Amino acid sequence: MDYLDYQFVDSEDFVNTYDEVPLWSASFGLLLLKHLELKANQTILDIGSGTGFPLFELAERVGNSCKLFGLDPWKNANLRAQEKIKNYGISNTTLIESSAENLPFEDQSLDLIVSNLGINNFDDPDLVYKECHRVLKTSGKLVITTNLHGHWKELYEIWYQTLHQIGNESYFKMIENEEAHRRNLAGVYQLFTNNGFQITKAVEDSFTMKFLDGSAFLNHHFIQLGWLTGWISLFPKAELQMIFAKFESNLTQYAKQNGGLNLTVPMAYIAGEKL
Ligand SMILES: C[S@@+](CC[C@H](N)C(=O)[O-])C[C@H]1O[C@@H](n2cnc3c(N)ncnc32)[C@H](O)[C@@H]1O
């Protein structure tokens, strides 16, 4: 009962890793932690474990009869995650700096693979599903959370309105393609079933993100990281000022008329069993 000796030791080092989970990841991770069945004595892999969420939360919720691995090719995220292992005193988890396209595990060696906002957005999700199938034991589970087609539908309507005003059909098509790359639930099911899994549980949910106006939205650091760079890359440099001035102004007008820029994020938890 080592926990009886616990004493909180305040330090800059501890505080550095205490306070961060991106809000974006949190909504999906909470969905995963709510619906995941917890079992003792499992070997578990989190694919795309980033800075350690929900990997460490899961590691602590299942405890030391389970052995966990977090896998991500992102070096700096792994360094941060390693700091958390030290500061949280986690002893059942190992980090691996690698891509899930070639999993460093024996065939049939894992009980559970989870991926929060991971696999579905990778360059070659089919290949990663196949690798998951190879390394899972028969009846092992692959559990993912993902955003779905319909993501920020309000915002995409404003994109289409803006690009109609500009009158360039090819720009319209580019945003349409960018929106379309997110799968609907049937598309996600296909990734499972085409790669040797049967769906055992699926839960749909959604949440709303509210912004004051277009300027706040486009200057938000996480929006810039996750979306803005992608949108900027779609258009010619010389047109960017004009396109984004109109887009920002339309977002702000929408926000004024609707009590804020309220953006809906549909999400899903999907579990599959290896056949
Ligand atoms: C949207 S982030 C999610 C991170 C974390 N799971 C969370 O919920 O905050 C996607 C993660 O997948 C990682 N990733 C991208 N391609 C990958 C691959 N081929 N194999 C494993 N991880 C990958 C990225 O480095 C990133 O950390």
* Domains of the chain in sequence order: 2-148+183-206+264-274 (3.40.50.150), 153-177+213-259 (no CATH)
The pTM assigned to this predicted structure is: 0.94
pLDDT recorded at residue 180: 86
- CB distance 117 to ligand 1 below 6 Å: yes
Q: Are 270 and 143 in contact (CB under 8 A)?
A: yes
CB neighbour list of residue 43: distance below 8 Å, 6 or more residues apart: 66, 67, 68, 69, 109, 110, 111, 112
Burial (CB count <10 Å: 0-12, 13-18, 19+), residue 137: middle
Burial (CB count <10 Å: 0-12, 13-18, 19+), residue 143: buried
- CB distance 24 to ligand 1 below 6 Å: no
Ligand 1 atom closest to 55 (CA): 6
- CB distance 145 to ligand 1 below 6 Å: no
DSSP 89: T
Dihedral sign (CA 199, 73, 40, 134): positive
Three-class SS state of 153:
helix
By alpha-carbon position, which residue is closest to atom 22 of ligand 1? 48
Q: How far is the CA of 117 from the centre of ligand 1 (A)?
A: 7
Reported confidence tier of residue 265, pLDDT bands at 50, 70, 90: very high
Q: How far is the CA of 46 from the centre of ligand 1 (A)?
A: 10
pLDDT recorded at residue 88: 92
- Cα 49–chain centre separation: 9
Residue range 256-272: average pLDDT?
97
Residue range 91-111: average pLDDT?
98
Ligand 1 atom closest to 24 (CA): 9
pLDDT recorded at residue 19: 67
- CB distance 118 to ligand 1 below 6 Å: yes
CB neighbour list of residue 238: distance below 8 Å, 6 or more residues apart: none
The pLDDT tens digits for 184-242 are: 999 999 999 999 999 999 999 999 999 999 999 999 998 998 899 999 999 999 999 99
